[in-house]
Amino acid sequence: MLYPVPLRHSLICLSLCLLSACADQQANQQNTAASATPAPSTAATASKPSNADVAPAQSFAQWLAQFRQQALDAGIQPAIFDQAFAGVSPDEAVVKADNSQPEFTRPVWEYLDGAISAARVRRGQAMLNEHATTLAAIEQAYGVDRQALVAIWGMESSFGQFTGDKSVIRSLASLAYEGRRPAFAQTQLLAALQILQHGDVPSSQLLGSWAGAMGQTQFIPSTYNHYAVDFDGDGRRNIWTSPADALASAANYLRSSGWQQGQPWGVEVTLPESFDYALADADIRKPLNEWRALGVKNLPPDFAQARASLLLPAGYRGPAFLVLDNFRAILKYNNSTSYALAVGLLSERLLNGGQVLAKWPRDDLPLSRAQRIVLQEQLSSKGFNPGGVDGIIGANSRKAIRSYQQSLGWPADGYPNQALLQKLISTL
């Protein structure tokens, strides 16, 4: 049978991906620091397609002149702007990092192996003791549990050891000039100039990651402007070198995101046989007592009316969790379920808990980006709308997967794996 050209191209790419999956998976087995995560953001942004080979339509000098006028119109003082941009030129390393998309996404169990390493747990426990007085005061002021703050601190910067050494102004200017999300980068660049104008930090010390995330809690500039606090009382909001300011700022952000003091982030649970896995949807929230009535076991005795969602991070073959408000607050800090799960488990591990009892399906090979695109294309061709073909398995793609799984009579857990992909392409 002769397939349409786009489909033939996808299938050729898929065949190559399947042949090289084992080799690529081996390259993917790197337990890198889990601190390399997106910074908290207060606004959703849209990305434009990456095309590193297309030159910008105007020179950097032309772009800078236009942006200078916009910044001045927004209230930035000319002297502040000119000092911040003195000698600034595009950083090609930043643009390259922005345009680099990993071919494979690490499975959640590999991510957790790196995030909750024994060394990180020991260091976090030492930080709990060393900063006990400060953490107690922050907990009292903001109602955020100290172990959660220390877990985020460890995830974001390895407890202040790795905060980034790139000029935030130069990085964001590079991204605003020729990055994938210029409007978002320009908004953050303006926020960074407001930080300088406020006087919290000189431009020489306004340092962060290539993406512009700053300090020990890796705030982006707009998040800093809204939520950073001066907790040590020195007159400056210093999330770079003051653990008190950094931790209190994170607590302020989490409180604003709905953190409930003393409530668990979630709990590992056991599901009954013949359970309806389609209930594993972040949009479905039921009180814990309703989950109990459905046969879910190992629920905490308290918080019966707390509303929880069922999370199956590795599908029905892996561990199951009921997650509550605090999990959702962590997601607002970083919208990744793997990240939020790591923070939750690490916070418990710091208190000698947090052991996952169920086994992870470590025999599952992750789908490459090309394979995820083919999966989305095939779901769409069969009438199951994944919401776009971009290789990102988001909420819409999971809903489409659930619907397709239900049509097959499979457990509808919304989890994309090699077996699902093979079934999709075998029915062409």
Q: CA–CA distance from 368 to each of 5, 7, 163, 346, 387 (Å)?
A: 21, 17, 30, 28, 19
Question: Three-class SS of residue 266?
Answer: strand
Cβ burial of 359 (10 Å; 0-12, 13-18, 19+) is exposed
The DSSP code for 310 is E
Q: DSSP characters for 236-260? A: S--TTT-HHHHHHHHHHHHHHTT--
Helix, strand, coil percent values for the chain (each to nearest 5): 50, 5, 45
Convert the pLDDT of each residue in 258-283 to its tens digit: 999 999 999 999 999 999 999 999 99
Residue 46's pLDDT band, with cuts at 50, 70 and 90, is very low
- Give pLDDT, residue 53: 55
- Give yes or no for a contact between 150 and 132, defined as CB atoms under 8 angstroms apart: no
Considering only 25-34, 210-219, 365-374, 376-385, which range has the smallest mean pLDDT? 25-34
Phi and psi at residue 35, to the nearest 5°: -75, -10
Residue 303's pLDDT band, with cuts at 50, 70 and 90, is confident
Residue 15 has pLDDT above 80, yes or no: no
Residues 6+ apart with CB under 8 A from 53: none
Which pair of tokens denotes residue 342? 């790591």
Which pair of tokens denotes residue 390? 């971009």
- Give yes or no for a contact between 347 and 145, defined as CB atoms under 8 angstroms apart: yes
- Give pLDDT, residue 388: 87
Q: Whole-number mean pLDDT of the chain?
A: 89
Instruction: Encode 14-42: b = buried (16+ Cβ within 10 Å), e = exposed.
Output: beebbeebeeeeeebeeeebbbebebbbe
Between strands 307-311 and 320-323, the pairing is antiparallel
Residue 127's pLDDT band, with cuts at 50, 70 and 90, is very high
Helices 118-130, 146-157: inter-axial angle, 10-degree rounding: 130
Question: Three-class SS of residue 166?
Answer: strand
Considering only 84-88, 276-280, 387-391, 396-400, which range has the smallest mean pLDDT? 387-391
Residues 6+ apart with CB under 8 A from 397: 375, 376, 379, 386, 387, 416
Q: DSSP characters for 48-112? A: PPP-TTSPPSS-HHHHHHHHHHHHHHTT--HHHHHHHTTT----HHHHHHHH---SBPPPHHHHH
Residue 48's pLDDT band, with cuts at 50, 70 and 90, is very low
Q: pTM for the complete prediction?
A: 0.86
Name the residue ranges covered by the structural domains of the chain: 266-349, 367-426
Residues 6+ apart with CB under 8 A from 312: 277, 280, 318, 319, 320, 321, 413, 414, 415
Convert the pLDDT of each residue in 305-347 to its tens digit: 899 999 999 999 999 999 999 999 999 999 999 999 999 999 9
The residues facing 266 across adjacent strands are 323
